[in-house]
Amino acid sequence: MTGKLKASLLAGVVGMAMVVTSGQATANDELKKLQTDPNQWVMPLGNYSGHRYSPLDQINKDNVKNLKVAWTFSTGVLRGHEGGPLVIGDVMYFSTPFPNIVYALDLNDNGRIIWKYEPKQDPNVIPVMCCDTVNRGVAYGDGMIFLSQADTTLVALDAKTGKKVWSVVNGDPGKGETLTAAPLVIKDKVYVGTSGGEFGVRGHLTAYNIKTGERVWRGYSMGPDSDILMDPEKTTHLGQPVGKDSGTNTWEGDQWKIGGGTTWGWFTYDPDLNLIYYGTGNPSTWNPVQRPGDNRWSMTIFARDADTGMAKWVYQMTPHDEWDYDGVNEMILADIDVKGKATKALVHFDRNGFAYTMDRTNGALLVAEKYDPVVNWATHVDMQTGRPQVVAQYSTSQNGEDVNTKGICPAALGTKDQQPASFSPKSGLFYVPTNHVCMDYEPFQVSYVAGQPYVGATLSMYPPEGADHLGNFIAWDASAGKIVWSNPEPFSVWSGALATAGDVVFYGTLEGYLKAVDAATGKELYRFKTPSGIIGNVNTYTHKGKQYIAVLSGLGGWAGIGMAAGLTEDTAGLGAVGAYKQLANYTQLGGVLTVFTVD
């Protein structure tokens, strides 16, 4: 984008800034307006800030007990249905797991199919998808629907007809690269990440022109400064310049070329600062002995200029990761009081079990506390250096020997995986779906072969000692760094949360329940058993004046990989199969959209 930027405040859910260039509106002024309309749901996370909050209150804590099914729709696809539907006007759009079908449904006719797009993909991409064949949703902008296909193809579809406008290849499945994350549209660009950290790929975030599909910029997670789009004197880490070659000199030799750091989570955006925020994943391999050093910038929060891609600041949460604590979870942007000071905050619930509150303008670390008391691999985060203080007993390096380190909490799937939390400006609290799982972790020597798994560790997962449950749904105070209330769940909560002005918070469970709880107390107000386990993200909208709640069910994802892929060994599925084998007693596979309302 060229020319002088001028910003004017636009009232709405987020208080977005409308950006104009030389007096001419950018391509997505429409989108900026739409995401402030509570009657629609136009982005996977609800708005640019990632709040997953709705000011709708027709469904509230007094009448939610009367919620009932309005209509349902079978997707025709098995395996894990992550993500959730968009609602633009009278049309609902959503994608499925592989083969990544996109549906456009008519809300005026109980979900009649307006159009269906089914890409023709090589099924050989399935074996290089790490943790099920999931897809986390589509994006909307400039009259188009954007789909990230498993085979790394980014597709732009006409929102009215479903016809392909353009497509571009974003990676190489032959090397283990795939796509699972939902894109994000900002101004005249669409942004997309990449998956494949378990295959030794090198992660990146890429911006494409929304009208042509032309690549505008690509920022790698590690490598030379020019590849990362990093100025060693201007890009900062906790207020200090990162210094020259930080993305290579913290790796041994050329290991950065197969360094991982993939970007398969969520993206958020602050229009006032013109910064896009996201996290990078684990370094490759999972055997830490084979990659000495801090392995920058894996496990890192990036704040990049949305126009140029240049990194303004970074923060590495887990240097020299030894546990697969990917840093890809969502960055929620909220203006809150932190220790008595009004702050433009970024709040992030990391896989490593620490919840971070940061100043999103400059990357200053303000709060870093455990959001599950059983987290034991580190005692605390040093607030000066930002480094977690690792407990030697739970290091998986163990003086360079391949030993089985036992009782590490959390497990590799983290205290929270990608399932997004929500933030209520009304209550000031964050509502977080969590895992309550520990592990044994035994690394082993592994050689890199392009397109082959590059893991190098065997895992077993189980509940913490003395616990009889694998998950909690919690309310979190990001200013104090404290749990306000916590509801135990038999299995991990793998569904994205939704908070509303009706003082109700919604989430789904792996057994298949849609649940509604009181935002202030966590008291359960409603539950309904959908046809399959829920790993999708709940949303809400209105149609003809009536509020609806919508969610995709369809068991799978990492927690459900045993059933989704037919795995039986306890250590299969990167250790998850053994922990979740009891799921088969409660639910089965099958993708279904369920829409609820109150009469």
| Residues with a known catalytic role | 324
C-alpha closest to that of 308 among 275, 333, 280, 330: 275
Q: What is the DSSP letter of 80?
A: -
Q: Which two tokens stand for residue 512?
A: 């298949």
From CA 595, how far away is CA 598, in angstroms rounded? 11
Separate counts of helices (H) and strands (E) for the chain: 4, 43
Residue 430, token pair as written in the block: 């964050």
Beta bridge partners of 487: 473
Question: 219 φ, ψ to 5°?
Answer: -115, 115
CB 432 within 8 A of CB 473: yes
Maximal CA-CA distance, the chain: 65
Tally of residues, the chain = 599
**340 exposure class (CB count in 10 Å sphere: 0-12, 13-18, 19+):** exposed
Dist. CA 57–CA 549, nearest whole Å: 12
Q: Identify which of 132, 119, 228 has the alpha carbon closest to the alpha carbon of residue 169.
A: 119
- Taking the CA atoms of 185, 336, 312 and 266 in sequence, report the sign of the dihedral they define: negative
Helix (H) or strand (E) holding 31: helix 29-34
